[in-house]
Amino acid sequence: MSDKNGSGGKPDVEALREEIKQTRAELGETVQALAAKADVKARAKEQVEVTKQKARAQLHDATGKVRDAATTAAAAATGKVKAATAQAEQKVALANDKVRESGTVDTVLDKAPEQVRRNPVNYAALLAAGVALVGIILIVRGRRR
């Protein structure tokens, strides 16, 4: 009984004050935590922010994947176009050689003036079409200004 009465020694006033201070701090933290849980609006805003951050991260990842895929596709397409161009150039060169060997171009160029002399209507029609085209172009340009 003497221990409870304090006859064995008085409780340290400073220790009691420190314990009270610590209890108040813990109680304050508990009240703040309960208030935060009770604040539905703030919790909803936090959840919205978390969702926005997740969406931004997913968008960033998806953008990177799309860029990588586009780069890969562009590189593959470029390679295919280069190969097709080289093949077409080879075929054109081969066709050119065959035409030159056959002498068809020279024959056509040699016969062209003679054909115009024999049938001047075709030449005149071609010339009239060219003049009409130039006239149309000039009229259209005049209206734009």
pLDDT tens track for 18-50: 999 999 999 989 988 888 777 778 778 888 999
Q: What is the mean pLDDT of residues 98-118?
A: 72
Residue 34: other Cβ atoms inside 10 A: 10
d(CA 113, CA 115): 5
Closest CA to 85 of 75, 77, 95, 73: 77
Closest CA to 34 of 45, 43, 21: 43
Q: What is the mean pLDDT of residues 80-91?
A: 87
Q: What is the mean pLDDT of residues 78-87?
A: 87
User: For residue 127, is pLDDT > 80?
Assistant: yes
> What letter represents residue 145's amino acid?
R
The per-residue DSSP string of 69-88 comes to HHHHHHHHHHHHHHHHHHHH
- The residues near 122 (Cβ < 8 Å, ≥ 6 apart) are 116
pLDDT > 90 in the chain, percent: 19
Q: Give the least confident one: 10-14, 60-64, 85-89.
A: 10-14
Q: How far is C-alpha 26 from the geometric centre of its chain's CA atoms? A: 52
Residue 122 · residue 116 · CB < 8 Å? yes
**Burial classification of residue 123, based on how many CB atoms lie within 10 Å of its CB (0-12 exposed, 13-18 middle, 19 or more buried):** middle
User: For residue 1, is pLDDT > 50?
Assistant: no
d(CA 112, CA 106): 10
